[in-house]
Amino acid sequence: MSVMQKCVMIRRTANAIPINYYQRTWCSTKAAAPTDEFRVLNLKKKFVPPQSKKKYTKTLLLPPRETAMPVDQDWTNVWPGPKTFHPASVPLALRQGYDQKRAPPGKYGNAELMKIPNFLHLTPPAVKKHCSAIKKFCTEWPKGLETDEDFDKHFPMTIITTDYCHSSPTIKDPKARIVTIKVKLSAFDLDKHARDKMIRLVGERYDEETDILTIVTDRCPTRKQNYDYGIYVLTALYHESNTFEEWEKEKQEADMEHYIWDNNVSKKAYVALVEWPKKVSDDDVKSFSIENDLVGQKYKDAVTELLNNGEDTYTLNKYKEAVVGMLLPQNAQA
């Protein structure tokens, strides 16, 4: 019982307080007199007209700049650097946007035109002007580099980097750090072993058709670092491929690119066939020579070609011919 009463009480007070509170505050704010004397409760307040709104004076708008532009002005002075599109300073009757029923919106208040990049600072005359300005720093074209062949001969390495040009003031682009180095492998003057090792080391970066080695570096944050790294890799590759390591001697038949008949099972089989029914040992095989054996030579050629050039109808037919000549001499005669 008592608890409930309490609750009710609380609720009542809770109801009551805010009303009073606000009233009071209302009174206090309104009646705050500037005087130092006591505050007076002014019940019959006079109507005070609300303060009139501040009048905005119309700012004087100049006509857009484009109207004052002469037709033969120097545009590069008007738009010297990259800047977002501004309708008043571009004297073109531009429109952008698409509306099925109406004409495309004009340039004033057209945000689309500001969103897209512009090359107003890179008009052909501007480019020409820039070029003529930096021309004094250029040197003469070296003699003996007139043709592409000369170029390839004296400068076998090509370095490709890309600069990105934006409409925004910054010229930075993460893709600008990538450096591509292209070299013709024939320019390296490598011997047979070194060339082979180089190609194995480089893997897919070497293009067999054009004989060009391509190294792309993009792991460092700046272009300079990437370039240095690329050159370092190239140097390391060169020296590494020129050294002959101890383990390279362990290279086996399977690692060889070429099939050599003489130290393979095929010869053993052939010798066993010729020497039948004698059992042949490894020494016999090694000492066996096919110098005067036309059939054997034909067979050797066929097997070597089959395994080196890969199988196709031509090599298989050649192999077949050789084998038939060897195994079925009667058939070959017929």
Partner 1 sequence: MRAYRRVCNYATAAIKQEAQYQIPTAARTDKTNPADHDHHDESKFYTIDPKTITSLFQMGGLPKPFTEQTQMFAETALMVRKPALEVIRGLKLADYQKPVIRYLLYGQTGSGKSLSLAHILHYAHNSKFILYHIPYVPIWLKYDRKEVNWSTTKNGLADIPLIAAQWLKHFKHQNEVLLNELNLTTSQDYVWSIRETTPKGTILNELITHGINRAKYACDCMDILLNELKAHCSNNKCKMLVAVDGFNAFFNEKTDLKTEDRVRVTPQQISMVQTGLSAVLSDWNNGAVVMVTSPRAALNTKRESHLPIYLCGRQGFEHIDPFIPVMVPELTTTEFNNMLDYYEEKRWLQKTGGRKELEFLTSRLPAELMARCASL
Partner 2 sequence: MMLMQRLFPNLVTNKLCSAKILTNFVLRCTYGLNNVGSDDPGVEIPEKKIVEEKTSLAMRAYLQRATQYNSFMDQQIHEYKIGKRHLANMMGVDPETFTQKDIDAAIGYLFPSGLYDPKARPLMRPPSEVFPPKKDAEFDESGRPFHVFFYTGKPNFYSILHNIATKLVELNKFEDSLRKNNILPDADKKLTSFGSQWLSKEDLEKKTVERLSDHEYKHFVVAIERLLNHACAYKLTEFISEYQKPMISTKSIVESSPVLYTKDGRAYVTVKDCPRKDARADVTVYYPGTGKLSINGKGIEFFDYIQAREQILFPLLFTDMIDKVDIEATVSGGGVSGKAGAIRFGISWCLCSFVDPEVVERMRIAGLLQKDYRRRERKKPGQARARRKFTWKKR
Binding site for partner 1 (CB under 8 A): 264-266, 269-270, 272-273, 276-277, 299, 303, 306-307, 311-313, 316, 319-320, 323-324, 326-328, 330-331, 334
The answer to the question of residue 71 lying near partner 2 (CB under 8 A) is yes
Q: What angle do CA 135, 136, 140 make, to 5 degrees?
A: 80
Q: Within its chain, how far is the Cα of 44 from the centroid?
A: 81
Q: Which of 47, 98, 137, 247 binds partner 2 (CB under 8 A)?
A: 98
By the 10 Å C-beta count (0-12 exposed, 13-18 middle, 19+ buried), 113 is classed as buried
Stretch that binds partner 2, among 39-47, 63-71, 206-214, 233-241 (CB under 8 A): 63-71
Among partner 1, partner 2, none, residue 95 binds (CB under 5-8 Å by kind)? partner 2
* Maximal CA-CA distance, the chain: 144
What mask, x for binding partner 2 by CB under 8 A, covers residues 128 to 157?
x-----------------------------
Stretch that binds partner 2, among 2-10, 61-69, 218-226, 297-305 (CB under 8 A): 61-69
DSSP states along 225-242: HHHHHHHHHHHHHHHHHH
Q: Which of 61, 134, 138, 294 binds partner 2 (CB under 8 A)?
A: 61
Among partner 2, partner 1, none, residue 299 binds (CB under 5-8 Å by kind)? partner 1
Among partner 1, partner 2, none, residue 199 binds (CB under 5-8 Å by kind)? none
Q: Which of 105, 228, 229, 321 binds partner 2 (CB under 8 A)?
A: 105
> E strands within the chain?
157-160, 179-184, 206-207, 212-217
Across the strands, what pairs with 206? 213
To the nearest whole angstrom, how small is the minimum distance from the Cβ of residue 74 to partner 2? 9
How far is residue 62's CA from residue 334's CA, in Å, rounded to a whole number?
Answer: 109
To the nearest whole angstrom, how small is the minimum distance from the Cβ of residue 293 to partner 1? 14
Do the strands 157-160 and 179-184 form a parallel or antiparallel pair, or are they unpaired?
antiparallel
By the 10 Å C-beta count (0-12 exposed, 13-18 middle, 19+ buried), 264 is classed as middle
Which of 174, 277 has the CB closer to partner 1?
277
Count how many residues are written for the chain. Answer: 334
Stretch that binds partner 2, among 100-108, 175-183, 189-197, 257-265 (CB under 8 A): 100-108
Among partner 2, partner 1, none, residue 80 binds (CB under 5-8 Å by kind)? none
Q: Do 159 and 227 contact (CB within 8 A), yes or no?
A: yes
Q: What angle do CA 26, 28, 34 make, to 5 degrees?
A: 130
One-letter amino acid of 115: K
The answer to the question of residue 83 lying near partner 2 (CB under 8 A) is no
How far is residue 85's CA from residue 113's CA, in Å, rounded to a whole number?
Answer: 7
Q: Residue 213: phi, psi to the nearest 5? A: -100, 125
| DSSP state at residue 66 | G
The answer to the question of residue 123 lying near partner 2 (CB under 8 A) is yes
Among partner 1, partner 2, none, residue 306 binds (CB under 5-8 Å by kind)? partner 1
Among partner 1, partner 2, none, residue 98 binds (CB under 5-8 Å by kind)? partner 2
Interface residues with partner 2 (CB under 8 A) are 61, 63-64, 67, 69, 71-73, 75, 85, 91-98, 101-109, 113, 116-120, 123-125, 128
